[in-house]
Amino acid sequence: MEKPELTPEEARKDHWRMLRFMALNAALGSLVGAATAAAVILLDVGGIGTRIAHAANPVMPVLLLVVPFASLFGGAATASAILMMPYEKKYRD
């Protein structure tokens, strides 16, 4: 089946929709990653919560745990969003 031609305005709208879709998935993935890091700290997995609680400056260890988790989960969610982009359903009969 031949794909229909998009006008420049329709293409621009479609690109913004795709970007919003990916940004939403990245934000949700980052939120899940931050929640996972918070759970690791609160559940004291491996004693990390206790070490952070006794640290002189607990902000840095928390950031060193939360930022990689959020980045990893956000990137994974974005990658899966790209793979599952609902683009082909526009051209089905």
pLDDT tens-digit readout, 20-77: 999 999 999 999 999 999 999 999 999 999 999 999 999 999 999 999 999 999 999 9
SS3 90: helix
pLDDT at 3: 64
Q: Where are the domains of the chain?
A: 24-84
CA distance 65 to 40: 9
Supply the pTM of this predicted model. 0.80
Q: Is the pLDDT of residue 80 over 70?
A: yes
More confident residue, 70 or 85: 70
pLDDT at 37: 97
For the chain, where are the alpha helices, taking DSSP H only?
8-42, 48-53, 59-83
Q: Which residues of 7-42 are buried (b: 16+ CB within 10 A; e: fewer)?
A: eeeeeeeeeeeeeebbeebbeebbebbbebbeebbe
